[in-house]
């Protein structure tokens, strides 16, 4: 295995196209009981017996809490102009609530991170919330299950972050993947807080209603955080604010079957429209959700809609990894269904795979569907797109040695193919795509999958915590530069 040819005949990235790498606080920081940090729901979830995270926890993780200077030296070595990271809410407000004490040591920690990035001329992209809800407010009132309390507490947390960091942070993301929070946390229960009425490992929850309640809490929390920024900070701080939504692209399982074509679109409405329609179009949930879910889907009051109407979000943060086929299901939807009454498959009716296999069963490389996804989202929602996550583990990488892992040809090809998809969506489809933040800077805790899958461009030895750059880390910047418009002009 070796490096790939990074050259391309496609060159349509704008000269100011931004790029870098992304992480999340809980997956890399460690130091869970240090510096005044309070517990979050993942701390509890990772220590359940029997384990629901393959025996893994984030007590130490990658020890970024102590090693951030070393990690930022790597970013500088890779030539990355930007870096996306998230704040641990419970490191800043240990209990989490709007009337609870602030932890100045936690704020100092993030000030040091931000200043260390700026000292290296790396632009900080800050995600306010990446799944690690403070345990204190989860225990106090149910966390996201309490729509009114949670959005008020999140608004307070957002305002505090703007106040303390917004003089230097100009790129904000309110929430990471509200679909995952809602569905994996409160329907399937495979993520913290692990609530579910369908998962035998869960002891409490209602999969028929809770994910939809949580979804509304997250939508309103985003809107409240945007409004605070726009009203109180934008004029002086002059930053931008968005949200990162995950979603696969779906093709019909049987291209000649209209019901499968409808199923593919319906699946994407349940995946993306659930959040993007209220946030970007400032309207109710997709009609197909209303039809299937009925009164289980919360309504937006007149006051809610006024908040949503006022919340002007600057960009669409896209987290994309793979595509799938959708096949319609005959008959009524199950009460626990969150997909839009469809089957998800990786091969179509003719047995053709959606893409090449990666190191995880659910993730196939299908850059042609990435292009369709980019173009669909831009045409529907009309906002500039930043890809805020995209990446993969190589086939077999979970059991590779360090020497094998750094020769990450599959990842290099994945990056190159997906960058070409961006070029096509821009040049041929007219999409406005502003940047690309690859997932992830380093191998880390992959949530309920533990420390098996390796998404990093840096190999992490979990015994010694030594970091080793993989070939993709050093090539991504060259791939992007070769795809910029100026690269064509320079060669002419």
Q: Which residues contact 368 (CB under 8 A, 6 or more apart)?
A: 421
- Inter-residue contact 395 to 358 (CB < 8 Å): yes
Active site residue 177: yes
The candidate with the shortest Cα–Cα distance to 393, out of 435, 437, 348, 438, is 438
Cα separation, 46 vs 156, whole angstroms: 27
Q: How far is CA 469 from the centre of its chain?
A: 23
The angle that helices 471-482 and 409-427 make with each other, rounded to 10 degrees, is: 20
Apex 142 CA angle, 140 and 145, nearest 5: 150
Among candidate residues 29, 149, 265, 389, the one labeled active-site is: 389
Cα separation, 272 vs 177, whole angstroms: 10
DSSP state of 15: T
Cα separation, 428 vs 140, whole angstroms: 51
Between the alpha carbon of residue 74 and those of residues 20, 70, 82, 114, 468, the distances in Å are 12, 7, 12, 15, 9
Among candidate residues 149, 155, 177, 446, the one labeled active-site is: 177
Q: How many CA atoms lie within 13 A of 426 on its CB side?
A: 23
Cα separation, 433 vs 226, whole angstroms: 21
Active site residue 350: no
Catalytic residue IDs = 177, 389
């Amino acid at each position: 295995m070796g490096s790939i040819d990074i050259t391309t005949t496609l060159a349509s990235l704008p000269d100011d196209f931004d790029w870098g790498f992304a992480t999340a606080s809980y997956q890399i920081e460690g130091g869970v009981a240090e510096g005044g940090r309070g517990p979050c729901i993942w701390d509890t979830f990772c220590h359940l017996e029997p384990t629901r995270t393959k025996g893994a926890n984030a007590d130490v993780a990658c020890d970024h809490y102590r090693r951030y200077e070393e990690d930022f030296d790597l970013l500088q070595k890779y030539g990355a102009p930007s870096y996306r990271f998230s704040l641990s809410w419970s490191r800043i407000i240990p209990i989490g609530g709007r009337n609870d004490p602030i932890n100045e040591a936690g704020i100092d920690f993030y000030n040091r991170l931000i200043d260390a990035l700026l000292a290296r001329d790396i632009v900080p992209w800050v995600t306010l919330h990446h799944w690690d809800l403070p345990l204190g407010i989860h225990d106090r009132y149910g966390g996201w299950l309490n729509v009114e309390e949670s959005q008020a507490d999140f608004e307070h947390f957002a305002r505090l972050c703007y106040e303390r960091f917004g003089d230097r942070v100009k790129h904000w993301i309110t929430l990471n993947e509200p679909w995952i929070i809602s569905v994996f946390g409160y329907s399937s229960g495979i993520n913290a807080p692990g609530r579910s009425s369908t998962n035998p490992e869960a002891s409490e929850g209602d999969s028929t209603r809770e994910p939809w309640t949580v979804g509304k809490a997250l939508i309103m929390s985003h809107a409240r955080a945007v409004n605070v920024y726009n009203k109180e900070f934008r004029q002086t701080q002059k930053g931008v604010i968005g949200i990162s939504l995950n979603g696969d692209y779906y093709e019909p399982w049987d291209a000649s079957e209209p019901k499968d074509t409808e199923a593919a679109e319906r699946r994407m409405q349940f995946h993306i429209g659930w959040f993007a329609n209220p946030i970007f179009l400032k309207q109710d949930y997709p009609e197909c959700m209303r039809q299937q879910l009925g009164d289980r889907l919360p309504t937006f009051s007149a006051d809610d809609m006024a908040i949503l109407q006022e919340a002007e979000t600057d960009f669409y943060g896209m987290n994309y990894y793979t595509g799938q086929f959708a096949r319609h299901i005959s008959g009524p939807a199950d009460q626990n269904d969150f997909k839009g009454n469809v089957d998800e498959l990786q091969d179509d009716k003719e047995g053709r795979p959606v893409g090449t296999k990666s190191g995880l069963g659910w993730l196939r490389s299908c850059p042609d569907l990435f292009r369709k996804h980019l173009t669909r989202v831009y045409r529907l929602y009309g906002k500039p797109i930043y890809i805020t996550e995209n990446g993969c583990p190589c086939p077999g990488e979970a059991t590779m040695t360090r020497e094998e892992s750094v020769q990450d040809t599959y990842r290099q090809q994945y990056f190159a193919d997906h960058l070409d998809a961006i070029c096509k969506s821009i040049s041929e489809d007219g999409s406005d795509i502003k940047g690309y933040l690859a997932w992830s800077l380093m191998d880390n805790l992959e949530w309920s999958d533990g420390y098996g899958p390796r998404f990093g461009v840096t190999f992490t030895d979990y015994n010694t915590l030594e970091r080793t750059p993989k070939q993709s880390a050093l090539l991504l910047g060259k791939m992007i530069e070769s795809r910029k418009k100026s690269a064509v002009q320079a060669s002419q």
